[in-house]
Structure 1
């Protein structure tokens, strides 16, 4: 696996679950930072900065965002496996998501230091703000 450059993004994030079909306010997409909305037949999930978390759902706050510097080619393999394996070996749970250009993981704030240490030990270049 090649060495990844990973940025720890400033600020707290939250993950919120809504019932399927819940309407998402268009204003959410004007929020600075990563906003991800995923809809399945069983649920609607939103990842957003804690300050922009919509109400009315079941929210788990206290996440920190780590972003792999991209863009990453679709032909690259093992990126998420490398990150997930390193964090799993350190006992750090994660919430993973990808965009067209790159990969992101969220870890609980209480686990951030262990996550950074584990990723650095695995040979990745982790930048904190």
Structure 2
């Protein structure tokens, strides 16, 4: 059994702002994507939002936290839960894309400061 200290992670706030989009008929993701998941109902894409793009309201923008610099094995239980539990406790919505090395946790841009505070209070380091 792993304790909370065993699940403490070093995260970094990824530069940029991101959109999470559902593309029902997409064959390929648009330029600038950092994560994609294909499901029967279509393609979900996380892409960086460039400042000059129009139609991206602040409510739809996300910031990304990633712990890839201190990767953990796939066989280590509770690593994602260790991030999501404090965020849920702080009422911060999330969208997650997992990689082989770590999890990319996106939070609404407006909730970034609250998310970072909740993660730090739970023992995580956020650069």
CA RMSD of aligned residues (A): 2.2
Give 1:100 shift.
Answer: 1.2
CA distance in 2 between partners of 1:71 and 1:85 (Å): 19
Whether contact under 8 Å (1:94, 1:106) holds in the other structure is: yes
Q: SS of the residue aligned with 2:115?
A: helix
Q: Which residue among 17, 22, 25 is the counterpart of 1:12?
A: 17
Alignment pair present for 1:63 and 2:68: no
Give 1:71 shift.
Answer: 2.4
Please name the residue that 2:48 is paired with: 49
CA distance in 1 between partners of 2:126 and 2:71 (Å): 16
CA distance in 2 between partners of 1:95 and 1:107 (Å): 7
Give 1:118 shift.
Answer: 0.2
What runs of 5+ residues in structure 1 fail to find an aligned partner? 53-59
Q: Tell me which stretches of 4 or more aligned residues in structure 1 moved more than 2 Å.
A: none
Give the alignment's TM-score, normalised by structure 2.
0.82
Give 1:77 shift.
Answer: 1.1
For residues 19-77 of structure 1, give each alpha carbon's deviation from its aligned partner in whole angstroms, at most 9, with x where no partner exists: 14x1215x73xx4xx6111111112110011129xxxxxxx731000001332211111
Please name the residue that 2:95 is paired with: 95
Q: SS of the residue aligned with 1:119?
A: helix
Q: SS of the residue aligned with 2:50?
A: helix
Between the two proteins, the alignment pairs up a number of residues equal to 116
Give the alignment's TM-score, normalised by structure 1.
0.81
Q: SS of the residue aligned with 1:10?
A: strand
CA distance in 1 between partners of 2:24 and 2:115 (Å): 31
Q: SS of the residue aligned with 2:81?
A: helix
TM alignment of 1:114-125, pairs within 5 A = 114-125=114-125
Whether contact under 8 Å (2:9, 2:70) holds in the other structure is: no
